[in-house]
Structure 1
Amino acid sequence: MRMTFRWFGEGNDPIPLSHIKQIPGTEGIVWALHHIPAGEEWPLDRIMEVKQQIEAAGFHNEVVESVNVHEDIKLGLPSRDHYIENYKKTIISLASAGVKVICYNFMPVFDWLRTNLFAELEDGSTAMYFEKAKVSSLTPHELVAHFQSNTSFQLPGWEPERLAQLSATLKAYEAVDEEQLWSNLQYFLEQIIPVAAEHGIRMAIHPDDPPYPLFGLPRIINNQASLRRLVKLVDHPANGITLCSGSLGARPDNDIVAMIHEFADRIPFAHIRNVRLEENGDFIETSHRTEDGTVNIAAIVKAYYDVGFTGYARPDHGRHIWDEQCRPGYGLYDRGLGIMHLWGLWDAYRYAEQSKFS
């Protein structure tokens, strides 16, 4: 397991790389060019600038999250070929900068959704929260307004230029059902996977968050069966998965341990986080400790250990603790604690195995 930490870039992230460097066992930075709109080619000079910043701080830059997929590709519009060509060029440029994994998603309109970015937990910390009934009672426009009023940070997947087109985009999706979205995803993968494979890149799709339809929009990457279908669309190791335990863990019928064992050779990147899921479908993000949520983090790390996982991992969303002023879900302190918890589990399994033969 190769531990990484997501960072939003100089001037866009209050956490300096020098502080991340002090988290033991953290070797890489997960990064992106967040100011580049979806569909545009990433400039090579800007890629190299961020690479130099990351490497100067003592990290590698081998994982990018995310190269966002333009909505026209998801919709299957004639203009998609132009945006796919830009995507291919970006893949080639990233490969030349040493990138090995690109995380992306294929969620229509909303990349991820919460109803409260700073809900209070019992210990006084706050975390991102999803209230299912509130989503059902609001229109998409009302929810966007509510969501944006919760934070001063620009959030990935919720860029203003995307939301400005919300009405038109929602209207376009009225003609797209799940099977059409699957077809559009296959078309995209058939175009980009050969390019990624040629240049040593593994594409890693992120599951839907939350993992079920919203506002009548189709969402297709949300359980074990859908991951099985995904890897068969283009059956090549470069067509991989970002296995996110928090996203998938918001469905009680998802067996994440079983997914790790089935798709071990297709998981180049792991997001490891916990959520506490309520019977009514509400959930809140918690510490990485198994007992604080409903996702068995200990069993998940054991599964990664048992399959000999050598891919990249990062602690995903954390709580906001110790009065840290931070991007929702992406503070330094709780994610640092998360890394140490994950390494503690990993070391325990490793030492237990070694003791068998000593």
Structure 2
Amino acid sequence: MRQTWRWFGPNDLVSTDDMLQAGVEGVVSALHQVPTGDVWTPEAIAARQGEIGTRRDGSPSGLSWEVVESLPVSEAIKKQKGDWRQHIENYRQSLRHLAGAGIEIVCYNFMPILDWTRTDLAYRVSHGGTCMRFDIVDFAAFDIHILRRPGAVEDFPEDVVAAAAERFSGMGAKRREELTRNVISGLPGATESLTLDGLQAHLDEYGTISPDELRGNFIAFLEEVVPLAQELGIRMCCHPDDPPFPLLGLPRIMSTEADYKAMMDAVDVPENGITLCSGSLGVRPDNDLPGMMRRLGERVHFLHLRNVQRESDQVACSFHEAEHLGGCTDMVDLVAAVVEEEARRRAAGRADVSIPFRPDHGQDILDDLGRRSQPGYPAIGRLKGLAELRGIIATLEHRTHGLGAS
């Protein structure tokens, strides 16, 4: 398992020097400054590679850009509206440029509008650190009473609707503004100038698009992109919905094992694969993460290893980001399934034996609390998670090679 680290570019408060001290082997990054739908140029890609390869003092870091996360799919492509055909061609051109730069793994998602959704970006946990949290009652209060989305009441159980009304009535203006900012944080490229009317306008665009229609648009995208990726030697890996249940009336099509199976069957080549995110998928009690890895592992090209604590047994539930070895997913069994898959690949002579993973998200602890890094991406919290995962991997691989036998 290859240890990687997500980096948001030169403005990221966690530097390449920090990554080196964490002991990572490769970097996961993207060109966030390029508008979605535009071409990633060779010059911009080379510039990012140079930034990753350089320490603060100008000396070589020895690190390289190994995984793209994400090469975003535009809303036009998802809806098949406007310039969507040109956006697909631009996407294809970006893949050519990435392949020319030696990058072989591209993570992306097909979530409408929101890349992720949380209601609290600094929820305090028992040890005094903070984490991201999704509170279903807070979200319902936002959807029904702040956004005032038509039909929102029908999308929540009666008890949640009642609790949301009470919660909203007790909210001051400051909390209402904070909640709105937190939800909008999951909008790609969102800025403070995005209004609630603007968000509703985005939602209206999806008003007539059913899950089946969105899935059809997704397959059409795959049919255009995956054959080229196969030709270029690029492994495409789709990230699941986060959280993996419907929000804001939007269709969700990548939330379960059945969703992934349908996606892979639609374009059945090895390059059409999976980003197995244990945090996103682990929110649903009906998702068996170790089992998914064992059943779908041959198409898993990238791993996000994190854990969440569900706060009820409902599919649409409140949850918060747990410590990597805490929460509801058996991380030891999941990592064991990955090590087993790598052993199968080694025996089959596959070139992609070592599956890259990153310690996804993390709780803000110690100096993280004053650093104010990207939400979910603290330095020390992720380092703690990586250290814990590294220990599991070392133990399992030790046993696999028979070195621990008495």
TM-score range, shorter chain: over 0.9
Q: Does 1:303 align with 2:337?
A: yes
Cα distance change on mapping 1:51 and 1:169 into 2, 3 Å: same
Distance 1:104 1:316 in 2: 15
Paired residues, number: 353
Q: Does 1:63 align with 2:67?
A: yes
Q: CA deviation at 1:154?
A: 7.1
Please name the residue that 2:356 is paired with.
Answer: 312
Please name the residue that 1:330 is paired with.
Answer: 377
**Aligned AA for 1:84?**
I
* Contact kept in structure 1, 2:257 and 2:287, CA below 8 Å: yes
* Contact kept in structure 2, 1:100 and 1:200, CA below 8 Å: yes
Q: Does 1:355 align with 2:403?
A: yes
Q: CA deviation at 1:148?
A: 6.0
Q: CA deviation at 1:137?
A: 2.4
1:61-104 Cα deviation digits (max 9, x unpaired): 12010011110111122521011011011111111111111110
* Contact kept in structure 2, 1:61 and 1:98, CA below 8 Å: no
Please name the residue that 2:9 is paired with.
Answer: 9
Cα distance change on mapping 1:247 and 1:140 into 2, 3 Å: farther
Distance 1:109 1:163 in 2: 13
Cα distance change on mapping 1:161 and 1:129 into 2, 3 Å: closer
* Contact kept in structure 2, 1:34 and 1:156, CA below 8 Å: no
**Aligned AA for 1:17?**
T
**For the aligned residues, what is the CA RMSD?**
2.2
1:2-54 Cα deviation digits (max 9, x unpaired): 110000011x2011101110123x11110001111111111221110111222
Q: CA deviation at 1:172?
A: 1.3
Cα distance change on mapping 1:161 and 1:66 into 2, 3 Å: farther
Distance 2:269 2:194 in 1: 34
Q: CA deviation at 1:357?
A: 6.3
Q: Does 1:293 align with 2:297?
A: no
Distance 1:98 1:148 in 2: 40
Q: CA deviation at 1:343?
A: 1.1
Q: Tell me which of 299, 307, 322 is aligned to 1:266.
A: 299
For structure 2, which runs of at least 5 residues remain unmatched after alignment? 55-60, 148-175, 343-352
**Aligned AA for 2:321?**
E
Q: CA deviation at 1:355?
A: 3.3
For structure 1, which runs of at least 5 residues remain unmatched after alignment? none
Q: Tell me which of 66, 78, 83 is aligned to 1:74.
A: 78
Distance 1:112 1:163 in 2: 16
Please name the residue that 2:248 is paired with.
Answer: 215
Identity of aligned residues (%): 39
Distance 1:177 1:147 in 2: 28
Cα distance change on mapping 1:259 and 1:162 into 2, 3 Å: farther
**Aligned AA for 1:100?**
E
Secondary structure of 2:53's aligned partner: helix
TM-score (norm 2): 0.82
**Aligned AA for 1:195?**
L
* Contact kept in structure 2, 1:112 and 1:157, CA below 8 Å: no
**Aligned AA for 1:40?**
D
TM-score (norm 1): 0.93
* Contact kept in structure 2, 1:91 and 1:196, CA below 8 Å: yes
Please name the residue that 2:233 is paired with.
Answer: 200
Cα distance change on mapping 1:64 and 1:313 into 2, 3 Å: same
Q: What pairs with 1:103-142 in structure 2 (closer than 5 Å)?
A: 103-139=107-143, 142=146
Secondary structure of 1:21's aligned partner: helix
Q: Which moved more, 1:245-254 or 1:55-64?
A: 55-64
Secondary structure of 1:219's aligned partner: coil
User: Which has the greater radius of gyration?
Assistant: 2
Q: Tell me which of 241, 266, 283 is aligned to 2:274.
A: 241
Please name the residue that 1:253 is paired with.
Answer: 286
1:115-159 Cα deviation digits (max 9, x unpaired): 0000000000000000012212223894795356459x9767352
Cα distance change on mapping 1:142 and 1:27 into 2, 3 Å: farther
* Contact kept in structure 2, 1:110 and 1:158, CA below 8 Å: no
Q: CA deviation at 1:307?
A: 1.5
* Contact kept in structure 2, 1:140 and 1:215, CA below 8 Å: no
Distance 2:229 2:145 in 1: 36
Q: CA deviation at 1:242?
A: 0.4
Cα distance change on mapping 1:187 and 1:90 into 2, 3 Å: same
